[in-house]
Amino acid sequence: MSEISPCETTAMTATTYLVTRHPGAVEWAERRGMPIDRCIPHLNPSILQPGDCVLGTLPIHLAARVCARGARYLHLSLDIPPELRGQELDADTLDTCNARLEEYRVTHIPDDDAAQ
């Protein structure tokens, strides 16, 4: 497999985080040669600095906080069939499910600005 650098940045101090509790996701990223600085099971957005990069499958409110702090969010997306939902997936199964990183910019809309 060719090396992938999804979070190239000019900031020398930027950190790339892989947020997952799943060994299959860690192996999937390693097989692609992704430069992961820290692999963590849970994310506290307060640790993020502008220019950092977060890879994972975060709830939408956390993805918004990542983006609000000036970090990038790349979602680990899958085309997962119903029979595999809720199961622990290994790296080979992630490949079968077309695992890929897709960048999102998420913005929280405060209640007073939300559509009525």
Give the pLDDT band of residue 112 (cuts 50, 70, 90).
confident
Question: pLDDT by residue (tens digit) across 29-69?
Answer: 999 999 999 999 999 999 999 999 999 999 999 999 999 99
List the chain domain ranges. Answer: 16-91
Determine the distance from the C-alpha atom of residue 97 to the mean position of all C-alpha atoms in its chain, rounded to a whole number: 16
Name the residue among 58, 33, 61, 38 with its Cα closest to residue 49: 38
DSSP output for 42-111: S--GGG--TT-EEEE---HHHHHHHHHTT-EEEEEE----GGGTTS---HHHHHHTT-EEEEE------G
Q: What is the pLDDT of residue 93?
A: 97
Q: What is the pLDDT of residue 113?
A: 61
For a pLDDT cut of 70, what percent of the chain falls above it? 86
Name the pTM for this structure: 0.86
